Amino acid sequence: MTRISERRGERRSTAPRQTAWRRLANLYPPMRVLSDDQVEAIHETSLVILETLGLEILDDRALDRLAVERQRVDRASRRVLFDRHWVMERIATAPEEAVLHARNPERWIAVGGNHIVFTPVGGPPNCHDLDRGRRPGNSRDLTDLIRLAHSINALHTISSGMLAAQDLDQRTRHLDAYFSVATLSDKVSSVSLLGAERALDGIRMNALARGISLEEMQVRPGLFGGINTNSPLRVDGPMIQGLTAMVEHGQVVVVTPFTLAGAMGPVTLAGALAQQNAEALAMLAYAQMLKPGAPVVYGSFTSNVDMKSGAPAFGTPEYAKTTIASGQMARRYKLPYRTSNCTASNTVDAQAAYESQMSLWPAVTGHGNFIFHAAGWLEGGLVASFEKMILDAEQLQMMAEFLQPIETAREDFALDALAEVGPGGHFFGAQHTIARYETAFYAPLLSDWRSFQTWEADGARSATERAQRIYKALLAGYEPPALDPARREALADYVARRKREYATGGASTLP
């Protein structure tokens, strides 16, 4: 016993220093890059797009539903022209805020309003770390990434899609990912919306992990998931089916058009924004049609391509502008706003850092509520990087501290200290300093502020090399959150049963 506690104590003392997990509010006025007239012009154009060009919706059930709502549905082309009043009336029923509940009751998050939530990377097929280089990601990498994201306090949620593990059957790997997330973390998590079954598996497993019914899930939602439109102006069937399952079960849906200017959107930012707004409004209206008051989020992912190569670029000046502009659009509709932390860099270097910052500053100052890919995203989303997780964790911690307003109570002005110290003096020894110095300033996770000589004598490690040590220390210190063995067994049983069903042709026993 003594030995274990000694070891634990040791581990704790060498554990990387982090700020505590905490919910964040953004009390600063939001940044604006559009005038009110410009916001209205984008709004108006997007309604004209919906009225005159409409969307192609590759789902018959959705077309039926929209026809019932008297939208102009052309069965042959699957094109739907929307009525602007219908769209705006539907949008008006969306709530400004929603709460998502975690397995750990203390880890609930608020989506919308002044709240800001950081989520880890989602989607990459590859992963990278300094030791092993870039490689297709496997299930061990995924669980390590989940452990790491759980351990990083700056991340409010976990993501089931931190990596698409290439060694697993792609039909059922979502089940393995959900199981890992449910057992390795107790934060709010995301679910894949690529089809209704993946969404429903996620919803059922979240209920099992939390030991509640699907009815209770409706009242206390615990999952979020994102759909992308297949820009321009198309919505794929699986996406709309995933959205529908989530809405019907009361979970949070994020709708994000992928309007990469010059490729899937016009080469002009105004054009790409109007298209984004049209696609987002239509799908959010659809969600509200399914269930008025369903918690939804307006997503933006309008960046641009390199017109020489066609390669997508992220963290560009254009991306910074559309990120802030999209926040203005979301606020116009009183909708929570989702944005991202992006970079196109191929390695964890200065470019990765400045492009992430070129995403994060607009996201934060533009009042993003839900910052996807906030840690670990590299190479335009093709790679989940272990070192980038730490680089981003530092940046998120700094943003969290930036969001704490300057305090200006009487004692904060330190007039007595200034009188005590006097001209040319030093504040280190002042009573006012001594009473506050331990918590006065942000303490970094990754930044090295030592003198050059001290830093050099200690190995002259770059931020990326230091990030490697930190992620390894976090993984070494990882402890799984407690989980009732009965719930764990129920989850395992569920996965086993569903895998059998998928193997025998996918006949689902889901309701």
Alpha-carbon gap, residue 125 to 122, rounded angstroms: 10
**Nearer to its own copies by C-beta: 93 or 347?**
347
Determine phi and psi for 434, rounding to 5 degrees. -60, -35
31 in contact with its own copies (CB under 8 A): yes
Which position among 127, 182, 283, 313 is part of the footprint of its own copies (CB under 8 A)?
313
Give whichever of 157 and 303 is closer to its own copies, judged by the CB atom: 303
State yes or no: residue 405 binds its own copies (CB under 8 A): yes
When the beta carbons of 46 and 241 are compared against its own copies, the nearer one is 46
CA–CA distance, 78 with 235 (Å, rounded to integer): 10
Helix (H, G, I), strand (E, B) or coil at 457: helix
Contact 352, 309 (CB under 8 A): no
Residue 305 · residue 263 · CB < 8 Å: yes
Which H helix or E strand runs over 304? Answer: strand 304-305
Letters for 458-487 (x = contact with its own copies by CB under 8 A, - = none) are --x-xxx--x--------------------
Contact assessment for residue 399 and residue 416, using Cβ atoms and an 8 Å cutoff: no
Among 183, 339, 395, 468, which residue interacts with its own copies (rule: CB under 8 A)?
395
- Residue 503 in tokens: 């193997």
The 3-state DSSP class for residue 235 equals: strand
Identify the sign of the CA torsion 15, 18, 20, 21: negative
**Type of residue numbered 155:** L
- 367, two tokens: 């009042």
320 is a contact residue toward its own copies (CB under 8 A): yes
Using the rule CB under 8 A, give the single segment among 81-89, 135-143, 268-276, 289-297 that binds its own copies: 268-276
Q: Choose one: 45-53, 148-156, 477-485, 486-494; the region binding its own copies (CB under 8 A).
A: 45-53
CB of 441 to its own copies, least distance (A): 5
Alpha helices in 185-307 (DSSP H): 196-210, 214-219, 237-248, 269-290
* 32 part of the interface to its own copies, by CB under 8 A: yes
The piece of 39-47, 141-149, 155-163, 333-341 that touches its own copies (CB under 8 A) is 39-47
- Closer residue to its own copies (CB): 5 or 451: 451
Measured torsion, CA atoms of residues 126, 128, 133, 137, in degrees rounded to the nearest 10: -40
Q: Which of 24, 47, 50, 55 binds its own copies (CB under 8 A)?
A: 55
CB of 333 to its own copies, least distance (A): 18
Position 261: which residue type? A
Among 200, 263, 283, 296, binds its own copies (CB under 8 A): 263
Least separation, in Å, of the C-beta of 246 and its own copies? 24
Out of 94, 175, 223, 446, name the contact with its own copies by CB under 8 A. 446
Range 46-50, long-range pairs (CB < 8 A, 24+ positions): 46/274, 46/275, 46/277, 46/278, 46/281, 47/84, 47/87, 47/88, 47/278, 47/281, 49/233, 49/274, 49/275, 49/278, 50/81, 50/82, 50/84, 50/87, 50/278, 50/281, 50/282
According to DSSP, residue 157 is labeled B
Q: Give, as ranges, the residues between 212 and 241 that touch its own copies (CB under 8 A).
A: 230, 232-234
Residues near its own copies (CB under 8 A), total: 123
8 A C-beta contact, residue 192 and residue 198: yes
Tokens of 347: 């390695």
425 binds its own copies (CB under 8 A): yes
From 43-51, 199-207, 330-338, 489-497, span contacting its own copies (CB under 8 A): 43-51
Can you tell me which of 317, 459, 480, 506 binds its own copies, judged by CB under 8 A? Answer: 317
Task: Single out the residue of 21, 38, 139, 334 in contact with its own copies (rule: CB under 8 A).
Answer: 38
* Piece of the chain touching its own copies by CB under 8 A; list 160-168, 439-447, 470-478, 497-505: 439-447
With CA atoms as reference, report the closest residue to 144 among 476, 453, 415: 476
Listed ranges 8-16, 83-91, 208-216, 420-428: which one lies at the site for its own copies (CB under 8 A):
420-428
Judged by beta carbon, residue 6 or residue 412, the one nearer its own copies is: 412
**What is the smallest separation between the CB atom of 462 and its own copies, expressed in angstroms?**
4
215/306 with CB nearer its own copies: 306
**CA–CA distance, 152 with 175 (Å, rounded to integer):** 24
Rank residues 118 and 494 by Cβ distance to its own copies and give the closer one: 118
For its own copies, which residue of 433, 477, 481, 487 counts as binding (CB under 8 A)?
Answer: 433
Q: Taking CB under 8 A as the criterion, which residues in 345-374 touch its own copies?
A: 345-358, 361, 365
Assigned token pair, 72: 């102009």
Residue numbers 175-214 binding its own copies by CB under 8 A? none
Contacts of residue 494, defined as CB under 8 A and 6 or more positions apart, other chains included, come to: 175, 204, 205, 208
**Minimum Å distance from CB 390 to its own copies?**
10
Contact 158, 147 (CB under 8 A): no
Q: Per CB under 8 A, which region of 30-38, 180-188, 331-339, 470-478 contacts its own copies?
A: 30-38
In this structure, the chain runs to a length of: 511
What are the strands of the beta sheet with 377-378, ordered from one edge?
A: 133-136, 126-129, 383-385, 377-378
Binders of its own copies in range 82-101 (CB under 8 A) = none
Asked if 261 interacts with its own copies (CB under 8 A), we say yes
**Interface residues for its own copies in 128-167 (CB under 8 A)?**
134
